[in-house]
Amino acid sequence: MKPTPGDIFAVHHPRLDAYTAVQVTGLNVSGKRESASVLALDWVGPALPDAAEVAAMKPAHFNFYFWKDHRIHVWTSAEVPRGYIHVGHREPLVVEEVNSYANWPSGGAVYSQRRWEARPKAERDLFKQLQAEPDKSVLFKIGDREVNRSTQRLDTDRLAAVPDLSVFEQLPLLTTVNADAPIPGLFDFIRGRPFVDESSVTNHGERVVDLRGAQLTRLVLDATGLQELHLNDGLDFLSLVGQVSPELKIHGEADGHWLTLSTSTSAASCSGLDALDSLYVTSARDVDAASIVQRFPHLTELRLWGAPGSLRNAAALAALSGLKMLTLKDMFGMSPDDFPGAEHFPKLGKLWLTSIPAEVAAKVKKDYKAATRDGLDLSVTQPRKAEWLAENLDNPFRTWDGAENITSAQAKKAAALYRQARSASLKAASEEAGAALVAALTPVVTAYAEGFNTLDKRRAFIFTEEREHIYVALVGIFDAVEEKLRATEGAPAPSLDREALVTVFDSIRDF
């Protein structure tokens, strides 16, 4: 369904248990793509609005955290998503240039605004005051680094440099706390800070972590050695890294009903979160869909990204009738008959399949075509034949093959540069060690960087995402070198000066 500028739609937000509204303010056609500019409105109600309520709607304004009188007005898909109900039409409420791109607003900002307003007014006023007029007065120094009163983020070096974390209670704008080493009292400190809403904590060494009472919305946590985890209410996103133990018990708000869990295991082997709403599995090698369905039967979102990976028992996904989003990337091992038909997913609003078996891709395009006319956002790209998978199993640039902004020749050359660098690096690791190994690897890294410089000069295509791919592939080569060193009989503990090699890489690359 395509909207008309001026159309107003309502959508139910489960966490608010209420409807919010948006207006389509314009349409734009660029080539084959059609986009809509969509504005979040100020109305919230327990039922769909009547004509009088539609007539009274105005643009919504948000001021939580660092937003100041902010309007959500974005370019997005012109196809009205499932779940959005047409409730009226008025002349567009705003006429302005739109520069942001995002999904259709669904009420999440309204929920965040209400959480903000639930905090003590004095704390909010001080936050806004220092946001408008930052206080640069120095509270103390850590080496040659200063900590002033408007500091917003703390990392390991600062946290570990003080005898007591209470000194950081003088930071009203503190919103992010990250640590990659044990910091005594860290979780108690996070619980006590009213505006810390993001945190990444690894290598903490704790067996029990209690975050009840914290204000976190996003948490990355090392699960290695962890046996019990208490999450705070209001947490939206939890990423478990490290080794997840079957003994781990997780306690979360509504048993995970509002939570997204990200993990590199096929389905978290821990207990708890039985009502989990959303599961992201990344860097997967082997995924059993039946075990996911059994473990998390109430999922509304499921993202499975392989490295590449094999998806077994894909037909079991049909039991997840509440799915609203399903995304597969670099997942193989399934046949066309394994993938459930559209009739099993009546609420599905987004189905994005990238780099899957070609036969499955063809069948999905055919079977789900009718559903696209009912608002399904369907994307099936980079279908792969068995021969392609055999050739690219060890290729970190396999996602470049078929990407819109990358030619086939560029993708093949990138794979060749990687394989040449990896082969030469492993050969050097079998002959050298220590400083001599770094010296032997320096021309390898140089050739790797220069190869991509040349490739990019012919036709510029290396931007932020591609640059990250190139770097991660290089780190993978370093990992392989260290693994070979460890496997060498009688060799001492491996010691590869990665920093020196990365410095070489950075000094040469032009992208």
Same domain? For 442 and 430 the reply is yes
Residue 312 in any domain: the answer is: yes
Q: Let me know: does 256 contact 234? Beta carbons within 8 Å.
A: no
Give the model confidence (pLDDT) of 68-101 as tens digits. 999 999 999 998 998 999 999 999 999 999 999 9
Integer Cα distance of 305 and 302 in angstroms: 10
- Beta partners for residue 7, in sequence order: 89
Of 392, 426, 443, which one is at a domain's C-terminal end? 392
Model confidence pLDDT, tens digit, residues 110-122: 999 999 999 999 9
188: tokens are 């108690």
Residue 138 CA to residue 155 CA, distance in Å, equals 17
Show the DSSP H helices in 51-199 as ranges: 51-56, 108-117, 121-132, 156-160, 186-192
Q: What pLDDT was estimated at residue 393? A: 81
* 155 and 247 belong to one structural domain: no
Residue 39, phi then psi, degrees to nearest 5: -115, 130
Residue ending a domain, among 392, 416, 438, is: 392
Give the CA count within 13 Å in the CB-facing half-sphere of 498.
Answer: 12
How far apart are alpha carbons 247 and 348 in whole angstroms? 34
Residue 182 pLDDT: 95
The verdict on 266 and 290 lying in the same domain is yes
Same domain as 382, residue 446: no
Residues 258 and 333 in one domain: yes
171/207 same-domain check? no
- Domain boundary (358, 392, 426) is at 392
Q: Is residue 2, in this structure, part of any structural domain at all?
A: no
Does 488 lie in the same domain as 477?
A: yes
Q: 473 with 356, same domain?
A: no
Say if residue 96 is in the same domain as residue 128: no
pLDDT, averaged per 10 consecutive residues of the chain (511 residues), comes to: 94 95 93 89 97 97 95 94 95 93 95 94 93 87 82 93 90 95 96 96 96 97 96 96 92 96 81 96 92 95 93 96 96 95 94 96 95 90 90 88 90 95 93 89 96 92 94 93 78 75 95 92
In a domain, 1, yes or no: no
Same-domain status, 343 and 451: no
Same domain, 364 and 251: yes
Check residue 324 and give left, alpha or beta (phi > 0: left; psi -120 to 50: alpha): alpha
> CATH number, domain at 376?
3.80.10
The 249-251 sheet, strands edge to edge: 208-210, 228-230, 249-251, 271-272
Q: How many domains does the chain have?
A: 4
Say how many C-beta atoms besides its own lie within 10 A of residue 11's C-beta. Answer: 19
Domain of 471 in residue numbering reads as: 398-508
Domain membership flag for residue 172: yes
Q: Is residue 50 part of a domain?
A: yes
Same domain, 210 and 177: no
